[in-house]
Every structure is written in C-alpha cells, then in structure tokens.
Amino acid sequence: MAINQKEAIKYNHKHLLGIQYLSIPEVNLILDESLAFVELNRQENKKLKILNGKTQINLFFETSTRTLSSFELAGKRLGADVMNMNVLHSAIKKGETLIDTAMTLNAMHPDILVIRHQDSGAANLLSQKVNCAVINAGDGRNEHPTQALLDAMTIKMKKGKIEGLRVAICGDIMHSRVARSNIYLLNMLGAEVRVIGPSTLMPKNIDAFGVKVFTNMEQGLEDCDIIMMLRMQTERMDGSYIPSTREYYEFFGLDYKKIKNAKEDALIMHPGPMNRGIEIDTSLADDINRSIIVQQVEMGVAVRMACLKILMESKQ
C-alpha cells in the first residue's frame, strides 16, 4: 500500500550522527532527495525557501575548507540563516568546555548544529546536550556520514548502482573516519568492500568490519569498479607509520601502472584535499576519464541539502 510505503521511508532520527545508525530505506531516502538538489544546483536560480526562519550553526573545531563551505552553501541555498563559529582549537579546553559551548549555542535556539571535532564521539555527546538536530561533519576517527553519503551518491550517478560493485578503499584506514563511514554504507548497500594499506595503518579490529584486507595494492585493486583513495595526513608521515612518502607512493600511491589491475572502467575517488604525488599520481587525479573527484564535491552540496531538509521535516 502506498501509505505504508511512504511511512517506510521516513527518517526516524532526530540527528545524523553516523552511517551505523541508518537503515537502508533511510539511506535511500537521502540519496533520492539529493537528486532534486543536484538539479537545482546546476540551475541559474539556486535558492529555495525550505529552511526560511531556521538557524543553522556550523561549529568546526578542526579547520576545513570544503566540508564547511559545502554545509554553508547547502544551508544558505535552502534559505536558512547560517552562522559559522570560529572555534580556535587552542582556546578550547576539552571535555566540559565542548558541553559549555553546546549549552551556550543551544540557548540561542538553533535548529541545526553541524559539528566537526577532533575527538571521536563528540557529535554524539553534543546531541545529548542540545534540543536541535545535530549533524556529524566528522568526529575524530569515528564517522563522517555525509562524506559516505555523497560518495554513494557519486557512485550511483556514475555507475547507476552500488550493489554488486567491488570498491577498494586505499591508504590510512586506521585513522580515517571517511573509511569507517564508507565501509558501513557500502556494505549496507551491497557492494563488495576491500581495504588496502600498509599493515601499520590498518585498524587492529579490521576483521570485524566485514571487508577484505589487502596490504598489496596490485592484488587489492584486482577487478575493482571503484577506487577510493584516502588523504595521507602529514602528521603520519614522520616515519612512525610509513618509512617515507616516496616509499609510500611507490607501494600505495595510485598511478597508471597500478590501476591496470582494476577494471578497465574503474573510477577514482578522493575526499580531498589531495596530496598529489603522495597518495595519487597527479595526472591520474586530473584524468576526466578516470577521476570523479570533482563530482564528489558537487554531490556533497546536494547530499547535505537533502540531509538538512530531511532532518527539519522529521522534526515536525
């Protein structure tokens, strides 16, 4: 029945804290809603009134260019009043003060708080202290749900489906919330997920994630449809995790030679910003037959618009 069906695809949460809390229908709802916003963003007039009268606060404890911009534009294009909070990392004492900041902001009656924080669990903690909807824009090594959703949207737009695809996530799996959220989501949507990286950058409990683990790039990339490269954080490059960036590139940097192991029509993704010449060959990154990195950014704004809209609707 139509009514049941419509109820089935309701979003049943107050917040968007992680992919691990979402159901398949909820994910599909977000991806379906995103499509309209992809179209909107390509038009001359990109402005709606859906969030008129609403207040969105972007509370970023880590510097970010693209994620913050993406959320800011998403909110503004939906008509919300958007405020960015410049939180200097050094000025914040951890623990209680995040809560004090949360309580303060909450008293200003925002409707949506978008938070990025260096500590895993920060978004969950915040969500327990405020009345408004909280979106996790990345918390420590835990989750970055809108990144995984925009990645899924990008794959769907380019490949027409996700189910049955072989996806390799490559690089610093251990420290990556992008990897974690993508593993949850791609598994949920029926992809075959592989992770590839040096053993020093592989989480100890990786077996629990339901993925195939490779420490050899050529083997891992075999017959892959999608290759997701992760950003190598500069703070991991001091020798304790990898011998040198040159050696890392030699073994784990994606180049035209290694990509031959993947399918002929394999596509490359990267959450950005890229370290060209470290995790990815610079020509390959710009190869419009291979790289869908800019499409990820485009999908990012659309997916975040969908998330903002759905959270405001489910509130009512």
Query: Which residues, at least 6 apart from 207, have a Cβ–Cβ distance to it below 8 Å?
Result: 213
Find the shortest distance in angstroms from Cβ 301 to its own copies: 5
Whose Cβ is closer to its own copies: residue 109's or residue 204's? 109
Helix (H) or strand (E) holding 66: helix 66-77
What's the rounded Cα separation, in Å, for the pair 69 and 233?
21
Q: Considering the rule CB under 8 A, would residue 9 count as an interface residue with its own copies?
A: no
# of chain residues touching its own copies (CB under 8 A): 52
The residue (of 49 and 204) whose beta carbon lies closer to its own copies is 49
3-class DSSP assignment, residue 267: strand
| Residues in 107-146 at the binding interface with its own copies, rule: CB under 8 A | 107-109, 111
Contact between 100 and its own copies by CB under 8 A: the answer reads yes
| Number of residues written out for the chain | 316
Does the protein bind its own copies through residue 222 (CB under 8 A)?
no
- Taking the complex as a whole, the smallest distance from the CB of residue 146 to its own copies amounts, in Å, to 14
Q: Please report, as residue ranges, which positions from 253 to 272 form the binding site for its own copies (by CB under 8 A).
A: 272
If 0-12 CB within 10 Å is exposed, 13-18 middle and 19+ buried, where does residue 278 land? buried
Instruction: Tell me which of 16, 22, 31, 87 binds its own copies, using CB under 8 A.
Output: 87
Please name which of 241, 304, 260, 253 lies closest in space to residue 277, comparing C-alpha atoms: 253
Q: Contacting its own copies (CB under 8 A), which of 47, 89, 94, 260? A: 47
> 273 preceded by cis ω (within 30°)?
yes
Rounded to a whole number of angstroms, the minimum distance from the CB of residue 43 to its own copies is 8
Geometric angle at alpha carbon 20, from 17 and 24, rounded to 5°: 110
CA distance 232 to 118: 16
Q: Which residues bind its own copies (CB under 8 A)?
A: 41-42, 44-47, 52-55, 57, 63, 65-66, 69-70, 72-73, 76-77, 81, 83, 85, 87-88, 91, 96-97, 100-101, 103-109, 111, 272-274, 276, 282, 293-298, 300-301, 316
